[in-house]
């Protein structure tokens, strides 16, 4: 009688990284994070999960962090070829007179989109923001309506923009949660243009200015995004750091000094990267098992995980996690691509075992009747499986 046996393969050395289990305790609760900031969100991009939040949906003023939406709209226009980096916009008197942080654009000059973007992002130039707004929509009020349209499209439910700069206005509002949504979309949708946010210095009109984002100078892997400050909002920052293929974005707001903003943003990033690990399994879709096939036109079939697995856990859980796979061997033909043929078990200490599907990478048809008879006879006589 032909016998099939369950085979088990243990992955004892996990050279990957891991994140949340199935318990009700969040990473934020485990870390016991506290912060003097009025609003905080810590977001992990690989797991699409908020690791910690404090007043994330409370209404706040974005200040110059509103310029991230201005950047998003310009990036989108460049992506759909409505604009080119070499295109120019005219500096109006209104833009030229803007107060606050400036790129020192000359009145009635024509400035390239690239220089305006660098002025907006690196120098936080209010004049650059207004020139972009007027060049795209005709006037800043119309551009603000465009900003709100984009905000709704990407899911910013509690945001209302009144200008391109974040200049104080009674109706201007957002939340830390909405700023995370915006940052996530900008990084995902425009990976090449996003690189402008890590530029440390930009010189325009012979005036050299440094990027106001303190993380770019002091934190490994930091590449964005934007600071903000008004008397009403306090000091805020959207910071993003990528290390070992893991990206974390933090929004903080409501601090009372630049020094505290820098210290607190660095402190929170250091806690997250020190106290949590990203377990990233099966993202490359490589074969997990090369299984035998019984009475198929192919004698072997590769089995892979049905989908990638990403979770955030503590370093202790990461070091103790075990993974093993089980499947019946040999597998009878016919086999269909994507067919579930086994299971992957991920065991995290103190948590319920997680089960993922093991599936075929291709179709395997049955052998012809003649070869099937030949294979069965050879197996019965010699215990060998005929390879086609």
For residue range 212-232, list pLDDT tens digits in order. Answer: 999 999 999 999 999 999 999
Q: How many CB atoms lie within 10 A of CB 131?
A: 32
Q: How much is the pLDDT for 283?
A: 84
Residue 174's DSSP bridge partners are: 60
Q: How much is the pLDDT for 19?
A: 33
Distance separating alpha carbons of residues 151 and 157, to the nearest angstrom: 8
Q: Half-sphere exposure of residue 359, counting CA atoms within 13 Å on the CB side? A: 17
Q: What are phi and psi of 131, to 5 degrees?
A: -60, -45
Is the pLDDT at 16 greater than 70? The verdict is: no
* Domain containing residue 231: 27-275
Question: Where is mean pLDDT largest: 16-25, 183-192, 298-307?
Answer: 183-192
CATH number at residue 88: 3.40.710.10
Is residue 236 domain-shared with residue 290, that is, in the same domain?
A: no
Is the pLDDT at 28 greater than 70? The verdict is: no
Assigned token pair, 6: 């369950």
Name the band, by pLDDT with cuts 50, 70 and 90, for residue 18.
very low
Helix 67-79 to helix 126-137 angle (10° resolution) is 40
Count up the domains in the chain and report the number. Answer: 2
Is residue 58 domain-shared with residue 204, that is, in the same domain?
A: yes
Distance of CA 109 to CAs 92, 128, 140, 314, Å? 8, 12, 18, 55
Distance separating alpha carbons of residues 43 and 112, to the nearest angstrom: 34
- Our measurement of the distance from residue 3's CA atom to the centroid of its chain's CA atoms, rounded to an integer in Å, reads 47
Residue 60's DSSP bridge partners are: 174
Is residue 45 domain-shared with residue 134, that is, in the same domain?
A: yes
Q: Which of 14-23, 240-249, 276-285 has the lowest mean pLDDT?
A: 14-23
Is residue 194 domain-shared with residue 340, that is, in the same domain?
A: no
Is residue 228 domain-shared with residue 331, that is, in the same domain?
A: no
Q: Is 135 helix (H, G, I), strand (E, B) or coil?
A: helix
Name the band, by pLDDT with cuts 50, 70 and 90, for residue 12.
very low
Q: What is the mean pLDDT of residues 301-309?
A: 94
Is residue 241 domain-shared with residue 375, that is, in the same domain?
A: no
Name the band, by pLDDT with cuts 50, 70 and 90, for residue 17.
very low
Which of 151, 96, 147, 168 lies closest to 125, judged by CA?
Answer: 96
Q: How much is the pLDDT for 373?
A: 63
């Amino acid at each position: 009688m032909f016998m099939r046996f369950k085979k088990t393969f243990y992955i004892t050395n996990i050279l990957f990284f891991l994140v949340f289990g199935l318990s009700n305790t969040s990473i934020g609760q485990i870390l016991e994070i506290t912060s003097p900031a009025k609003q905080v969100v810590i977001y992990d991009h690989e797991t699409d999960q908020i690791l910690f939040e404090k007043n994330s949906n409370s209404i706040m003023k974005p200040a110059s962090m509103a310029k991230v939406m201005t950047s998003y709209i310009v990036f989108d226009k460049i992506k759909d070829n409505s604009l080119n980096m070499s295109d120019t916009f005219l500096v109006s008197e209104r833009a030229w007179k803007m107060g606050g942080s400036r790129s020192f654009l000359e009145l009635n000059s024509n400035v390239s989109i690239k220089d305006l973007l660098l002025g907006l992002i690196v120098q936080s130039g209010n004049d650059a923001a207004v020139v972009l707004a007027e060049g795209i929509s005709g006037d800043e009020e119309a551009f603000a309506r465009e900003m709100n349209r984009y905000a709704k499209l990407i899911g910013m439910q509690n945001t209302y923009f009144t200008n391109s700069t974040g200049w104080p206005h009674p109706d201007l509002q957002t939340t830390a949660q909405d700023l995370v949504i915006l940052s996530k979309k900008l990084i995902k949708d425009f990976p090449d243009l996003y690189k402008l946010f890590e530029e440390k210095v930009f010189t325009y009109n012979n005036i050299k200015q440094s990027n106001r984002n303190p993380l770019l100078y002091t934190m490994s892997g930091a590449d964005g995004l934007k600071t903000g400050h008004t008397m009403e909002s306090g000091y805020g920052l959207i910071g993003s750091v990528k290390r070992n293929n893991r990206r974390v974005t933090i929004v903080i707001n409501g601090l009372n000094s630049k020094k505290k903003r820098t210290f607190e943003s660095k402190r929170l990033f250091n806690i997250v990267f020190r106290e949590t690990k990203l377990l990233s399994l099966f993202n490359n879709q490589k074969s997990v098992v090369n299984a035998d096939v019984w009475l198929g036109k192919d004698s072997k079939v590769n089995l892979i995980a049905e989908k990638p697995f990403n979770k955030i856990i503590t370093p202790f859980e990461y070091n103790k996690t075990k993974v093993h796979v089980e499947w019946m061997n040999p597998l009878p033909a016919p086999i269909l691509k994507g067919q579930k043929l086994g299971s992957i078990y991920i065991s995290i200490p103190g948590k319920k075992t997680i089960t993922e599907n093991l599936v075929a990478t291709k179709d395997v048809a049955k052998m012809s009747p003649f070869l099937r008879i030949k294979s069965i006879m050879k197996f019965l006589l010699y215990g060998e499986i005929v390879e086609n």
